[in-house]
Structure 1
Amino acid sequence: MIRGIRGATTVKHNDADEIVQTTKELIETMARKNDVDPETIASVMISVTPDLTATFPAKALRLIDGWKYVPVMCMPEINVPDSLLKCIRVMMTVNTSKSQKEIEHIYLNDAIKLRPDLLKEKK
């Protein structure tokens, strides 16, 4: 079964190293919490808010062992007034036997504000 695993995080600055390292932390957490092997990943899509322009967060995948061939693409997030700033969002599409309810979506830093309903369910 193909499932989407959602993740989001924020950075404090529009800094290339911070963007890459924070994205790496998010993706590694998403994979670990959902028992994802890179061979089961169909693709990873990453969006960033318009205030993040220092680098491509997709560079983070190339720092993770075994992720060399995982297809990844970056894109801008739509610029909605009063939306969360300096936000990196990830959609990882994987082959898994888990049900949708068993998938653990990951929200780090200020991005926990995006889906408090999912965080409450896990407690």
Structure 2
Amino acid sequence: MARDAPSIDAYGQGGFRLSGVWRAGSVLILDDEARDWPVADVSALTVDSLSAVIGAGPRGAEFLLLGMGLRNALPPREVREAVRAAGLGLEFMDTPSAARTYNVLTSEGRRVAAALIAV
């Protein structure tokens, strides 16, 4: 099956340019589809905010790449435990690093979910 994962061309100023199209706000990418994600900062990161990724489990992605904003931060324990219980790996880092990592991994054909807090 051919994949059409969006590329992250740019980030900053409160949004992302994905495959040439500007999107304001945070973004969730799952099953090679970008969606608006209503998480503006780490304090809003909850199990519920990641329900699409957790619900898809390993069918949707090998692991979840979390962009935590301008600075890396430890996701809440409940989030870490729910992602692990869903059978997904979890990598978290600042959003700029997560955007670059996402591009590298998708270019290698990896199935990655990305939840990126806008910077």
Please give the TM-score of this superposition, normalised by the length of structure 1: 0.38
Please give the TM-score of this superposition, normalised by the length of structure 2: 0.39
